[in-house]
């Protein structure tokens, strides 16, 4: 890492060197001597920089991680792929790391945040189309009966998603969802949902970026939804969010101004096999590192690992009922429909050399707001 | 521009400043004096850098452009959106510029390069599936009758594209197309197709990037095809290529290794209205600058221009029969099916304040290999 921070090929250093050489060619006598002195002094200044850089390099980039196999695996991977002397060195332009979102970079229980958004949007949708009030599944949502809602099947959810995520312009959707994200609070922590991001994963994102990795969110959630806060919450720009995406339709409003309307037509179901397919569509390169937490991430991890050289494949196991949630059903944890981590997936991870992160044992801190 | 090249908030300068302040707080006597001297000398070194940077800033970033409205419009746009004192300043993270490819950044006549690839792949495809030799349009392609091929209708072309661009794994396609790109030569210039990129547009790409713009190719051509050379030819990484894209299917080969297969199913037809739709899907932000050359770029330019603040919309008119090709039918130029620039589009450009670039009058050089 040190060698990278003070890479002698750094453009600033290179331009200094070039500049000095050029000057030397024409300079004579006093001017030349003066420049030599300046060179030495700049050298001394760079030495101070070096000390500073080394001190920085020695600070722990992953303070919320307990020392253990998971943390060691991450650090070893970064060193192996970024130190120039390493046989597994990876060129900076192909350093790509992908992160699932729900349950990997933020809380997904008891329900995906975006699904909460859709359910809470139903009253406004019904107000605009009153006939929906008598039709299932909208009737149940309006009743507020959470037990009945928990029994929704896929077609019910699809109807709710279509009604709340499509049929409006992109600008209208963005404004509505942004407003909700600013106001809505998770009932357990009583904080905005965007606060419920895992500090240890934030550290990994920053650590990878500091080492030249381009970080992506690859989520089963809606691409347009996650893009609204990805920069602020993860430091990941909208164009580096790959998610489930519907078609849009280009047209014009009454005044002739162009607009994009969100259509109820699925383009990319970015889950399971859809994850590597989405990565190919949106990125076009195979990632070197992949992080997930459920069966929906299995193919993404397989795909990342199938490339040459050093690869990092990690799965987060939610085994911390006290500080967050505990669910599997792997390792005898309670079964769940939201973020299922099967024993089969656990066994595959062990067999393939993927690392399972124990939230309970590997993380000494979960949220930035934790003491 | 100067102020950006020597931005006092540059991390290297900041870290120097921080370092010196920290040291001063604890340093005493001789050590402090010595450091002050170092500071001065570093100051002198930076002054040399400054002179170098200013000299650099004063060199023309667009030497292949004749001085005229087109060049002035580009320079004025960059200054308006990147100088901090400008009322139209645009934050670096949203500086996005999109470029059509065929006819905008490289030659598209007499036929799109990718179509040439597909036609030249037909014999290999027929060899693998001999029955196709008796079926149209493959029969005509094998006959080598260019006149007959020129009469192909859309369904013919679609059959050829499906047969040559799908049905293989992504890795197989990449290897085949790469091999072809290295060997194939344009009959007129007798050079690899990737040499036929317009130097003036390359200068615009670099000029925009030097000013913090993220540059994208947004092409009606195949995304997977263009991604193979975008980095090398345009300095644009694969993930910044938005193009016509088919679905892939995730699966495993006989040894259980994951693979992606290219399916004959269109996901994104990245032309006309598909361009703003593709930009939303793949980038998620509205571009500030858009370059095109045909009716297929109309909606992309409208979409870029419809945003707030300064916007740049430019269309390249191929009016240079001698150095390249001349086609319209705008302005009485010969009509064409490849890269059609209608008089209606020309009139819309004038009405909307888009800039039409005349290849003949605005460019003093077309290719890097020109003398």
A208 sits in which H/E element: helix A199-210
Per residue of chain B (371 residues), what is the pLDDT tens digit? Answer: 333 333 333 333 333 333 333 333 433 444 444 555 555 556 666 666 666 655 555 689 999 999 999 999 999 999 999 999 999 999 999 999 999 999 999 999 999 999 999 999 999 999 999 999 999 999 999 999 988 988 889 899 889 999 999 999 999 999 999 999 999 999 999 999 999 999 999 999 999 999 999 999 999 999 999 999 999 999 999 999 999 999 999 999 999 999 999 999 999 999 999 999 999 999 999 999 999 999 999 999 999 999 999 999 999 999 999 999 999 999 999 999 999 999 999 999 999 999 999 999 999 999 999 97
**Res A36: pLDDT:** 53
Subunit contact A299:B249, Cβ cutoff 8 A? no
pLDDT single digits (tens) A74-117: 999 999 999 999 999 999 999 999 999 999 999 999 999 999 99
**Alpha-carbon torsion A178, A184, A185, A187, what sign?**
negative
How many residues are listed for chain A in this entry? 371
Which structure tokens are listed for B119?
């036609």
ipTM of the complex: 0.84
Question: What residues pair up with A268 in beta bridges, in sequence order?
Answer: A245
- Residue B348: left (phi > 0), alpha (psi -120 to 50), or beta? alpha
Q: How far apart are CA A157 and CA A170, in angstroms?
A: 21
Task: Report CA-CA distances (Å) from B21 to A6, A220, B16, B18.
Answer: 20, 48, 9, 5
Nearest CA in chain A to B265: A267
B261 sits in which H/E element: strand B258-268
**Res B65: pLDDT:** 98
Q: How far apart are CA B276 and CA B41, in angstroms?
A: 53
R_g (Cα) of chain A, nearest Å: 25
DSSP class per residue in B176-200 = HHHHHHHH-B-TTT-SBGGG-BBHH
**Res B371: pLDDT:** 74
pLDDT single digits (tens) B2-41: 333 333 333 333 333 333 333 334 334 444 445 555 555 5
B 174-233 residues with CB < 8 A to A: 214, 223-224, 227, 231
A contacts of B282 (beta carbons < 8 Å): 239, 282
Which structure tokens are listed for A335?
């079964």
Cα atoms in the 13 Å half-sphere on the side-chain side of B353: 7
Q: How far apart are CA A70 and CA A319, in angstroms?
A: 15
pLDDT single digits (tens) A128-140: 999 999 999 999 9
Q: Which residue has the tokens 């399972």?
A: A356
Subunit contact B285:A170, Cβ cutoff 8 A? no
Contact present, A70 and A357 (Cβ < 8 Å): yes
DSSP class per residue in A72-137 = HHHHHHHHHHHSTT-TT---GGG-EEEE--BTTTB---SS-HHHHHHHHHHHHHHHHSGGGGGSTT
A contacts of B263 (beta carbons < 8 Å): none
Q: How far apart are CA A344 and CA B126, in angstroms?
A: 44
Q: How far apart are CA B101 and CA B293, in angstroms?
A: 9
pLDDT band at A206 (very low <50, low <70, confident <90, very high): very high
Q: What is the pTM of this model?
A: 0.85
Mutate to test the interface with A, among B16, B45, B218 (most CBs of A within 10 A): B45
- Of B268, B262, B239, residue with least CA distance to B250: B262
pLDDT single digits (tens) A138-192: 999 999 998 898 888 989 988 999 999 999 999 999 999 999 999 999 999 999 9
A and B: number of Cβ contacts within 8 A:
130
Rounded to the nearest angstrom, the gap between the alpha carbon of residue B71 and the centroid of all alpha carbons in its chain is: 18
Task: Give the CA-trace dihedral at B159, B161, B163, B164, to 10 degrees.
Answer: 160
Q: How far apart are CA A228 and CA B121, in angstroms?
A: 43
Which structure tokens are listed for A18?
């070039």
Three-state SS at A364: coil
Contact present, A355 and A70 (Cβ < 8 Å): yes
């Amino acid at each position: 890492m040190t060698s990278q921070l003070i890479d002698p090929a750094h453009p600033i250093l290179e331009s200094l060197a070039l500049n000095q050489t050029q000057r030397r060619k024409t300079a004579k006598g006093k001017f030349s001597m003066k420049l030599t002195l300046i060179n030495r002094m700049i050298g001394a200044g760079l030495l101070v920089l070096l000390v500073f850089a080394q001190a920085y390099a020695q600070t722990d980039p992953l303070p919320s991680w307990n020392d253990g196999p998971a943390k060691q695996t991450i650090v070893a991977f970064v060193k192996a792929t970024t130190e120039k002397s390493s046989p597994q060195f990876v060129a900076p332009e192909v350093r790509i790391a992908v992160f699932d979102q729900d349950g990997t970079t933020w809380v997904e229980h008891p329900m995906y945040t975006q699904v909460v958004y859709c359910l809470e949007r139903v009253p406004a949708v019904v107000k605009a189309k009153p006939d929906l009030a008598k039709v299932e599944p909208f009737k149940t949502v309006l009743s507020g009966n959470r037990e009945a809602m928990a029994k929704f099947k896929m077609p019910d959810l699809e109807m709710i998603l279509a009604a709340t995520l499509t049929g409006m312009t992109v600008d209208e959707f963005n404004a509505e969802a942004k407003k909700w994200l600013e106001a809505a609070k998770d009932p357990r922590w009583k904080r905005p949902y965007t606060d419920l991001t895992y500090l240890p994963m934030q550290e990994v994102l920053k650590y990878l970026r500091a080492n030249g990795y381009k970080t992506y969110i690859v989520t089963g959630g809606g691409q347009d939804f996650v893009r609204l806060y990805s920069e602020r919450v993860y430091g990941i720009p909208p164009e580096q969010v790959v998610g489930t995406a519907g078609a849009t339709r280009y047209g014009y409003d009454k005044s002739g101004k162009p607009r994009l309307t969100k259509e109820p037509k699925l383009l990319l179901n970015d889950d399971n096999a859809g994850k590597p397919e989405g990565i190919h569509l949106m990125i076009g390169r195979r990632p070197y590192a992949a992080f997930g937490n459920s069966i929906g991430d299995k193919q993404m991890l397989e795909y990342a690992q199938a490339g040459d050289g050093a690869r990092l494949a990690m799965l987060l196991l939610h085994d911390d009922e006290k500080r967050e949630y505990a669910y599997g059903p792997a390792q005898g944890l309670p079964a769940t429909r939201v973020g299922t981590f099967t024993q089969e997936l656990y066994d595959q991870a062990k067999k393939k050399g993927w690392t399972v992160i124990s939230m309970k044992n590997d993380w000494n801190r979960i949220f930035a707001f934790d003491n």
